[in-house]
Amino acid sequence: MPLSAPPSMDRDHQDLLQLLVRVQNLSGKTGSLVEGLAKPLQEHMEMEESLVLPLLGLLRDYAKGKKGSASARKASSLYVRLQKEYPGMLRGHRELGKVLDKLKKVGAEEGHLTAVRFAEALVRYSQEEEEVFYPAALLAGKIALAKPKT
């Protein structure tokens, strides 16, 4: 079992980053606000790409009953790191959420509907991560940890 992100989730991250670049170039307070959001958002997504997405990539094989232990050691290591980083990742969502709320307001005031849609999409995606993706990644890691290491 290779440790790689599900392609659909990889695309979601790439789509969000491309939209981020578009809204960074907007004028006024909207562009400035997004400029300040860019670095923390990119760092947060990199953390997810290194810890969460590879674990989620294991789920399809686990659901099919594949018992391969070749990647279990690496997955177990990611799981241990994710457990440590998880509270900070949730805090990161709350901090980003505050900026996104402000972005929705400022973007609407300045007529930048692309920024408003970006903020709304990112809020929804963060919710999905907290409700489904993070718990699923933790579960996949727990399964990997329980597998015998050969």
Statement: residue 46 has pLDDT above 60? yes
Q: How far apart are CA 90 and CA 15, in angstroms?
A: 22
pLDDT of residue 4: 85
Sign of CA dihedral 74, 76, 80, 85: positive
- Quick one: pLDDT band at residue 61, thresholds 50, 70, 90? confident
DSSP-derived secondary structure letter, 130: I
Instruction: Look up residue 139 and give its two tokens.
Output: 């579960």
- Quick one: pLDDT band at residue 73, thresholds 50, 70, 90? confident
- Quick one: pLDDT band at residue 119, thresholds 50, 70, 90? very high
DSSP string, 43-96: HHHHHHHHHHHHHHTTHHHHHTT----TTHHHHHHHHHHHHHHHHHHHHHHHHH
DSSP string, 108-122: HHTT-HHHHHHHHHH
